Amino acid sequence: MHSIARLVQRSVILALLVGCGRPEAVRIGDGYPRDESLPFLEAIRPAVESSGVLISTWSVGGDPRITIQLNTEQASLFADDPTVVAVVGHTGSREALLAAAVYNAREVPHVVPNATSGLLGQSGPWTFTLVPSDSVEGAFIADYALDSLRGSRLGVLYLGDEYGIGLRDGVRAALRRRGTDFVDASMIPSDWCYAEPAATIHRAIINASLRRSKPDVVVVTTGSSSGWCTAELIHQANPETWIIFGDGMDGARQVPDLTPRVNPGRIRGVEFWAASTDSMSRAFVDRVQGKMKQPLGASHALQYDAYMLLAAAIHEAGPDRRAIRRWLESLGVSREPWQGVTGPIAFNRPRSEILRMSGPTVSVP
């Protein structure tokens, strides 16, 4: 009877839509929890909505650690809402993968700004990623470690999630293509590493790994929650060890105060965008950073590009999910790439050109 009730509900909505004509509000779903995204969202909302497209924000509440629950429910709500014609998000690879499963099942265009999991490319035709996959990023890191840092013993400390594991595999594949391999790969917990018992666990795992493999370059595929303490533990053992963060540290430009023992000169991080690269980026920074009252990272620029890209798609293709998908697929094929803050956007090839390496204290070599 529940199904019948849903059927009746949908039928009523459909009847209303048909009977009342086209809805005036066309929305893009925001796939980021409200608390995290609200300042940035409010900062870019005028720009997005100036094209006549509204943003439907995150509405599901609950324990933010329960990723599955939150993301799948929110994705379902977006899919159920006929006014939502596309979605931007979600937070990371795991969340994006969860949501992609829903959107591909329900045929909702889904633009992922900054998740790199290679599994997203297999989610279905309704999911479009703005950043290169973890295999492309892994190859970029490996080339940088071998060529720029002259590293000979590469170790990997990775999170046991889709992002960490994917990037580990990407680095390994690139090393093997170049005839070598890393000397160690250890999984580290995803918990906040400045409190017990996680701190002890991190320390034990990292120390054991360093003692076991004595690396001169360590690739760290964590987010900001454990990245800097990991770096501190590495440099405690050997301050000369090179640390390369994955994109999860978003360039690792700001060294937190909690980690005074890190050696910033031996830290590098992958990022997809830098604020000073061109006039378009500078305009974006000028427009948004003031409202945010904090520096903007690559993830912001990618989210902004995602919204503006979909607004353009809705404008040109109309507020129809299938038409929007066809419009996105046509970029770089039958249509010129769309020019965003992070550069030209098309989905017919990886955007490897946006990959760059930065550091907190030194410029990119």
Instruction: Please give the residue ranges that form the binding site for another protein (CB under 8 A).
Output: 1-4, 7, 65-69, 72-73, 75, 94, 97-98, 101-102, 105, 119, 122-123, 160-162, 165, 186-191, 197-198, 200-202, 204-209, 211-212
Query: Under a CB-based contact definition with an 8 Å cutoff, are residues 188 and 158 in contact?
Result: yes
Rg (the chain; Cα; Å): 21
The two structure tokens encoding residue 335: 């249509």
What is the spatial distance between Cα 328 and Cα 75, in angstroms, rounded to a whole number?
A: 20
Measured in degrees and rounded to the nearest 5, phi and psi for residue 4 equal -65, -40
Choose between 193 and 341: whose C-beta lies nearer to another protein.
193
Least distance from another protein to the Cβ atom of residue 165, Å? 6
- Shortest CA distance to 314 belongs to which of 115, 29, 17, 78? 29
- What does the DSSP 8-state code read for residue 349? S
Choose between 98 and 313: whose C-beta lies nearer to another protein.
98
Choose between 100 and 139: whose C-beta lies nearer to another protein.
100
Calculate the alpha carbon distances from 176 to 18, 84, 131, 169, 339 in Å: 58, 44, 23, 10, 35
Least distance from another protein to the Cβ atom of residue 99, Å? 8
Choose between 11 and 361: whose C-beta lies nearer to another protein.
11
Q: Which residues pair with 112 in a beta bridge?
A: 129
- Describe the strand order of the beta sheet including 127-129 as a list of residue ranges: 54-56, 27-31, 84-89, 110-112, 127-129
Choose between 7 and 364: whose C-beta lies nearer to another protein.
7
Helix spans in 214-257 (H): 224-237
With a CB cutoff of 8 Å and minimum separation 6, the contacts of 263 are: 235, 239, 240
Least distance from another protein to the Cβ atom of residue 263, Å? 23
Choose between 119 and 323: whose C-beta lies nearer to another protein.
119
Least distance from another protein to the Cβ atom of residue 289, Å? 35
Choose between 189 and 264: whose C-beta lies nearer to another protein.
189
Choose between 97 and 301: whose C-beta lies nearer to another protein.
97
Least distance from another protein to the Cβ atom of residue 98, Å? 5
Least distance from another protein to the Cβ atom of residue 65, Å? 6
Least distance from another protein to the Cβ atom of residue 288, Å? 32
The two structure tokens encoding residue 117: 């999991």
Q: Nearest 10 degrees: CA dihedral of 144, 150, 151, 157? A: -30
Least distance from another protein to the Cβ atom of residue 198, Å? 7
